[in-house]
Amino acid sequence: MQNYNWNYPTNMWVGENRINDIALACKSLNISKPLLVTDNGLAKTEIVQNTLSILIDNKIKAHLYSNVVGNPTGTNVNEGVEIYHENNCDGVIAFGGGSGLDVGKAIAFMSGQTLPIWDFEDIGDNWTKANSNKIAPIIAVPTTAGTGSETGRASVILNEKTGVKNIIFHPKFLPSIVILDPVLTVGLPAKITAATGMDALAHNLEAYCAPGYHPMADGIALEGIKLINKWLLEAVNNGSNIEARMNMLTAASMGSTAFQKGLGAIHSLSHPVNALNNVHHGLSNAIFMPYVLTFNKDVIVNKILKICDYLELEDKSFDGFINWVLELRKKLDIPHKLSEVIKEEDFQLERLSEMALADPSTGGNPKKLTKEDMKIMYQNSMQGKLF
Report the alpha-carbon distance of residue 197 to residue 206 in Å, rounded. Answer: 14
CATH number of 188-383: 1.20.1090.10
- Where are the domain boundaries for CATH 1.20.1090.10 in the chain? 188-383
- Contact assessment for residue 70 and residue 129, using Cβ atoms and an 8 Å cutoff: no
**Dist. CA 31–CA 29, nearest whole Å:** 5
Domain(s) of CATH 3.40.50.1970: residues in the chain:
4-184
Q: What angle do CA 187, 65, 151 make, to 5 degrees?
A: 65
What is the rounded distance in angstroms from the CA atom of residue 120 to the CA atom of residue 112? 13
pLDDT given at position 6: 87
Q: What is the mean pLDDT of residues 249-260?
A: 97
Mean pLDDT of 306-334: 98
How high is the mean pLDDT of the chain?
Answer: 97
DSSP state of 175: -
Phi, psi of 8 (to 5 degrees): -145, 130
- The length of the chain, given as a count of residues: 387
Average pLDDT over residues 362-383: 98
Helix (H, G, I), strand (E, B) or coil at 206: helix
Residue range 163-186: mean pLDDT, rounded: 96
State the virtual CA torsion across 276, 159, 122, 30 in degrees, nearest 10: -120
CATH 3.40.50.10800 fits 4-184, yes or no: no
DSSP letter (8 states) at residue 66: E
- pLDDT for position 2: 86
Label the pairing between strands 154-159 and 164-169: antiparallel
The model's pTM is 0.94
Q: How many CB atoms lie within 10 A of CB 370?
A: 11
pLDDT at 171: 94
Rounded Cα distance, 55 and 49, in Å: 10
- Nearest CA to 175 out of 108, 127, 128 is that of 108
Q: Is the pLDDT of residue 355 over 90?
A: yes
Cα–chain center distance at 97: 8
Alpha-carbon distance of 33 to 35, in angstroms, equals 7
Q: Is the pLDDT of residue 35 over 90?
A: yes
Average pLDDT estimate for 241-253: 98
The alpha-carbon radius of gyration of the chain (Å, integer) is 20
- Residue-level pLDDT at 234: 98
